[in-house]
A and B are shown apart, each in its own frame.
Chain A
Amino acid sequence: MITAEQKPMQEIIQYIAPYSKILLVGCNECVTVCAAGGRKEVGLLASALHLNHLKQGKTIDIKEITLERQCDPEYVEELAPYIDGVDAVVSMACGCGVQTVAGRYKKSPVFPAVNTRFMGASLGQGVWAERCKGCGDCVLGITGGICPVARCSKHLFNGPCGGTSNGQCEIGPETDCAWRLIWERLKELGMEDRYEDLMNAKDWRPGGAAGPGKIIREDLA
């Protein structure tokens, strides 16, 4: 999933300072799962913004709505009936959602209320960790199911570097060395000899080096 975290309150407050009618839009997908921008968080942020305005002795009109998927024009269309009645939109979706809304409603300023962080997986209640960088040419099949791009701090394809100690990455003890994990997994799978295969310099084009990525499926388009 795409993970996100709410922006500092003061940043959001500054964005909306000039406006008195706000459409606050959450998303039911990833940001709901990582508790950054789902229905609950929309309610909480709305409440916080009210408390802020009460502090200033002002009021603010906030329309709360949480879409099924904010990165999908079909659902973003659901905002149409409200958009003319507000001065600005605050989106709690990931950057993809924010841009879909901004692209559809060109006359309304759209502000992000979350910082989109990474593509990750849940490690347990309230903990998420980066797992994929969308390199466009997945090598998990030869690295024992552990991503060297997202999980090695130096994106090494022929690791580990000399900095690993006690199985942890040189950047610090909170991070497992991806190449230690790869090696252990290869051993478990009885594929140790694979380790000495040289992994060639990567073609970064599918992962973004060729410019913004785009997928066109003729059979669906």
Chain B
Amino acid sequence: MNTQSRLEKILASGELAVTSECGPPRGARPEKVKEKSALLKDHVDGINVTDNQTAMVRMSSFAAAVIIKQMGLDPIMQMVARDRNRLAMQSDIIGAYAFGINTMLCLSGDHAKFGDHPMAKGVFDIDSVQMINMVRRMRDDETFQGGAKIDGAPKMFIGAAANPFADPFELRVMRLAKKIKAGVDFIQTQCIFNLDKFEEWMKGVTDRGLDKKVHILAGITPMKSVGMARYMKNKVPGMDIPDTVIKRLEGVSKQQQPEEGIKMAVESIERIKQIKGVHGFHIMAIEWEEKVPQIVEQAGLYPRPKV
């Protein structure tokens, strides 16, 4: 065991892990963070705290993670390469660790073009793979990226994202291998709707034995409506939403769509549980956090193990 991370402990125990996420508010409203996290608290092993998600300014992931930590829960602090250079990243990582935040996720970040400050200059001093490597060296070698020793090294359990659906598809396993080489401990995937494609990717992963080197948590998002499904299909970069998903939602009345969406999410979890190499689930219920406990329960992932 490398860290104090609860997620690491669960994964090490061989149990399926469950994480979810909380998007911090667009203003100084700590109560919003608390409300959202409280909804998740008994049903997940870690709560991702997004970092200026979709390039919209929000309360910093660091601050929101501290709030969650102080509730006695387990935040997973996300960090994007878009908004910080390596100095800012490292100081935030040390700072977060000083507050007991021991799990993080390294990301490139959506391009600023999509957000509310499209005129901003993206930093991109280092990329997500290099960030993983930096955090690993901070932990294992106790050195800063620049080479100096750290007095009080942050011991982070290191996560990253993987999108099995972005193209070129053939690169997707190789890129995972690269992240593993850089030192990643766990992966949360993009929302999975195309299960066949996900299975194909996982086969590539297990064929290379990569599932032995990293914990893969499958990304699950319940669809609230057919409108949301269509939007994600057409507007969100890197999403793969098969027509069958849209058809199935179209097949039920508008009032029943949310329930159908949850049913589909639960079915996906059941099917993915059978896939070799999957070690857990990352449930992203976008602005719908209150439904996470229901999904976790219906998918037979409740109660969460005590570690």
Contact = CB atoms under 8 A, between A and B. Distances in A.
- Is there a contact between chains A and B in the complex with CB atoms less than 8 Å apart? yes
Interface of A: 153-167, 170-172, 179-180, 183-184, 195-196, 198-202, 204
Given A158-B178, A196-B177, A165 B124 contact: no
Interface residues of chain A: helix, strand, loop or mixed (majority): loop
Given A154-B111, A161-B108, A163-B237, A198 B129 contact: yes
B238 A158 contact: no
Nearest to B126: A201
A158 B122 contact: no
Contacts of A180: 167-168
Contacts of B238: 162-165, 170
Contacts of A158: 127-130, 175, 178, 182
Contacts of B163: 162
Given A154-B124, A158-B129, A163-B238, A195 B161 contact: no
5 contacts: A154-B109, A164-B166, A166-B167, A196-B177, A198-B181
Contacts of B124: 154-156
Contacts of B190: 162
B63 to A, nearest CB: 25
A201 B178 contact: no
A167 B170 CA distance: 13
Nearest to A148: B127
A160 B128 CA distance: 11
Contacts, number: 100
B230 interface: no
Contacts of A195: 171, 174, 178
A47 to B, nearest CB: 34
A155 B85 CA distance: 13
A198 B178 contact: yes
Contact of B166 (A157, A160, A172): A160
Given A163-B166, A165-B167, 14 more contacts: A154-B108, A155-B127, A159-B127, A162-B166, A164-B237, A166-B167, A170-B237, A172-B113, A195-B171, A195-B174, A200-B133, A201-B86, A201-B125, A201-B145
Contacts of A199: 129-130
Nearest to B180: A196
Interface string B247-273: 000000000000000000000000000
